Amino acid sequence: MSKVSYYTEEGLKKLRDELNKLKDIERPKASQAIAEARDKGDLSENAEYDAAKEAQGMLEMQIAKLENTLANARIINESELDNSRVLVLSNVEVKNKANSLVMKYKLVAQSEADLKSGKISVESPIGKGLLGKKVGEIAKISVPSGSIELEIISITRD
């Protein structure tokens, strides 16, 4: 059983677009590559055919994974979310207790995460540590380099 993932309308659209691209563009390309390799002769010694079949298998696995993700995806109605606690789609301003550095993050689903734009996954150590916290609380988070303490300064929505 797969777990439910929550997405914004935009995030869900990106997933659907990616799935459609894989099915409508990449799948026919993979079939064409197999057909071309098959036309080159003896399949028992045809490395190009083996590579094309393997690429097709990987593509089909990627399509199945995306279909499963979409089947378990739910859209979040941002207007109904509680601003008193950190939740998925919260914009959180935190202060690192060790160095007083202030950072802003938006907690999003794994597939929407993009650290460059300040979007972190709720599945990440920091995301998990921040979930459910209120303004003023301190999240003690285990990260690969040790442990950090982040104080919640503010929680907002877009």
CB 30 within 8 Å of CB 55: yes
20 pLDDT more than 90: yes
Q: What is the mean pLDDT of residues 99-123?
A: 89
**CATH 1.10.287.180 placement within the chain:** 5-75
pLDDT in tens, 28-46: 999 998 888 888 777 677 7
**CATH 3.10.50.30 placement within the chain:** 78-156
94 pLDDT more than 90: yes
Q: Which residue has the higher pLDDT, 113 or 111?
A: 113
CA-to-CA distance for 155 and 84, rounded, in angstroms?
7
Please give the CATH architecture assigned to the domain spanning 78-156: Roll (3.10)
DSSP characters over the chain: -PPPEEE-HHHHHHHHHHHHHIIIIIHHHHHHHHHHHHTTS-GGG-HHHHHHHHHHHHHHHHHHHHHHHHHTEEE--GGGS-SSS--TT-EEEEEETTT--EEEEEEE-GGG-BGGGTEEETTSHHHHHHTT--TT-EEEEEETTEEEEEEEEEEE--
Give the model's confidence band at 81: pLDDT under 50 very low, under 70 low, under 90 confident, else very high.
low
What is the rounded average pLDDT for all residues in the chain?
Answer: 86
Please tell me the least confidently modeled range out of 14-18, 63-67, 83-87. Answer: 83-87
The CATH number assigned to the domain with range 5-75 reads 1.10.287.180
Tell me, what's the pLDDT at 79?
Answer: 64
Q: Which two tokens stand for residue 93?
A: 């301003």
Q: What is the mean pLDDT of residues 100-125?
A: 89
CA-to-CA distance for 154 and 92, rounded, in angstroms?
6
**Partners of 51 in the β-ladder:** none
